[in-house]
Structure formats: C-alpha cells, structure tokens
Amino acid sequence: MPRLKDVAAEAGVSVSAASKILRGDVGRFGEETCRRVVATAERLGWRRNLLVSSIQSGRTMTVGVMIPPYDSFWVKVLSGIHHRLGEADYLPITIWQGDLDHMPHFEADEQEGLRQINRLLDRRVDALIMWPTFAVAYRRHISDLAERSVPVVVIDYEPDEPICDTVGTNEALAAKTVAKHLLDLGHRRIACISSRESQSQTWALERREEFERAVEVQSDAEVRSWRLNREGTNGVEVATELLTSDFRPTAVFAVTDHEARHVYDAAAALGMSIPSDLSVIGFADLDFAAGLAPPLSTVRQRPREIGVEAASLVLQRLDGTVSGPFTKAKIEADVILRESTAPADQ
C-alpha cells in the first residue's frame, strides 16, 4: 500500500504539502502542483488512512444509525439517511437490538438498548440517529451519556422534555385530513384501532388523539377507540371486538397499515365486505397496502425525506450551521384514496 511520503516524493513536494492538498486544503498551492499531487496519488493507488485522519481532526466520519429495517417505512428511512450521509462522506454504522422475527419483543430489555448506544459511543461515532425505543433508553440515561457530547437525532418520538433534535410526520394535520375524509363520506360511527401505544410510540398516541378530536368536532359523529395489547399480538382479536361491538362502526381508522390489515382479516372472518359494509383507512402506505383486496386507502408518509432530514440535522450540528435550541422537524404526509373507503350506507 503506497504511503503519503511515497506520493510526496513522486510528486516532488513535501509530505506536509501533499497531506494538505489531498485533504482539499489547496488555497496556498499552485494549480499545477495540486493537479500533480492528485494525479500521483491516483496513479499510485494511495488511499487516505482514516484512522490517522480521525486522530488529526477529532472526527471519525461515522454516524451510529440505531434503526432496524422493520418494515418498508423504516427501510426507506434508512435509505434517506444513508444517501445523505454518503453525500457528505460520512459512514453510517447501522445496528439494532434483538431479533427482527420477534418484534416488538426485542424492546423489553432497556439495558441492552443502552449497551448498544454505548457500543457506538465507545467507537467514537460523531453522532447518533435513533428510532423511538432507543430514544427512551437514551432519555432515561442521558445524564450518564452527557459527557460523550455527540449530536443525537430521534425519528418518530416526542420526548416529554427536549433532549435532542427530532424528526417526524405532521401527525396532527394527517389525522385531521383522514377524519375529514370519513366525515365527508357521511360516516358518523367511526372506530379507531391503535397500536400498543407503548412509551416509545408517542406517534401513535398523537395520531389517535388528533383523529378523535377532529371527529368530535362534528356534533352528530361519535368515535370510539381500541388498542392492541402490550406485546402487539392480538390485532385480529381487537379488530373482531370492535367490529362486533354494540357501537357497530361504519368506518375504521387504523393508526398504521399493520392494524388495517388486522381489520381486513377480522372483516373477512365475519363475512363483512370492504367498503360496502365497512370503510377502512390506514396510515403509512406500507409496501403491502396497495396489494390488499380491496387496495387500502391510507396516509402516505415520506420516509425517505424523513431520513434525509434526520441525517441533515446531524450534519448541521456537526459542522456548526445549527446550534442552540433543539429542532423539531415535521414532514408532511399525503392521503392516498383507494377502494377501501366509500360513502356510508345511510
């Protein structure tokens, strides 16, 4: 492997000059000299020693990305993060906790989450991007982690007090738009099926509460809500319960497409037809939503944009263009109407 001094000797410059030019610090050198050094480095196959560079700069050019590829939403979030960090020549180190085949049970061990955070910090990552469960562990142990002093951005989690920058969907506006759509179709008995609403799922709580408020503005409309158990394992049972309750909803809002699929399964088992007997609308526009029968009306989030924004916030903190109070970024979403919603049968 050619060394920096080999490049310098071949190009006829000092090691210091070669180092500065190859780092992009070209202001004090002539154009021809810079071209000669770069060309020599390329011809010899020289590559920067990132370990030495990190010692010199105090930066490892790595960002810990603590997000599992849980579903198509999070895969696209990861895509946005990796793209933006790559543009800035930062390397994402992506890890998560537990086994993807046993989600969300992997969340149970908070100490394991803290251990994962420390694994990245011990490797001197320059910043962290977290999904909600890690954010809970970070919040609870922030005093222990404060001395590490790295920028942190959390996606889809609103802590009860500001501890870091956050990026999420504009839940309030999206939920109000869903409520308006169902009310405009004439639905007046509307159910909401929520997720577990665990401590990390602040997005689910906000989504449900904003939807309830928006429906209740209509004086002759009523909304009732159900939610899954702590483990999130009883989706079909909850959907069956709400469909067979005395409330007899004509429409259901599911806080994610996962819960909407449970409603589809329960409705099929009960002999109900969507949308003639029941309108259903979900949230996220996951990869299976359009393939359901009938295709699911849903809220299309912008996960890649969310990922890009999270990475951009990290980079802005690192280069000093953003400082001071924590940023709370909200990304808009779009309602996608398909065949699962229809006018209420009056």
Q: DSSP letters along 16-60, please?
A: HHHHHHHTT--TTS-HHHHHHHHHHHHHHT----HHHHHHHHS--
Q: So what's the pLDDT on residue 108?
A: 58
Query: Which is it for strands 334-336 and 298-300: parallel, antiparallel or unpaired?
Result: antiparallel
Distances (CA, A) of 265 to 105, 118, 240, 259, 270: 23, 42, 9, 10, 9
223 forms bridges with which residues in the sheet?
A: 190
Per-residue pLDDT reduced to its tens digit, 58-115? 678 899 999 989 899 999 999 999 999 999 989 999 988 877 776 655 565 667 888 8
pLDDT at res. 182: 98
Phi-psi region of 336 (alpha: psi -120 to 50; beta: other; left: phi over 0): beta
The tokens describing 17, both together, are: 């000059």
3-class secondary structure, 158: coil
Res 30: pLDDT: 87
The pLDDT of residue 52 is: 58
Mean pLDDT by 10 residues, the chain (346 residues): 87 88 81 91 81 61 92 96 94 85 62 85 90 83 71 90 91 97 97 91 94 96 94 93 96 97 97 97 97 97 97 93 88 97 86
User: Among the residues of the chain, which ranges form H helices?
Assistant: 4-11, 15-22, 31-44, 50-57, 72-87, 110-122, 132-140, 142-145, 171-184, 202-216, 235-243, 257-269, 303-319
**Size of the chain in residues:** 346
Q: Are 128 and 64 in contact (CB under 8 A)?
A: yes
Of 251, 168, 177, 238, the closest CA to residue 205 belongs to: 168
Structure tokens at 4: 């920096």
Q: State the pLDDT at residue 54.
A: 56
**Sign for the pseudo-dihedral over CA of 213, 219, 221, 225:** positive
pTM over 0.85: no
Beta-ladder partners of 297: 281
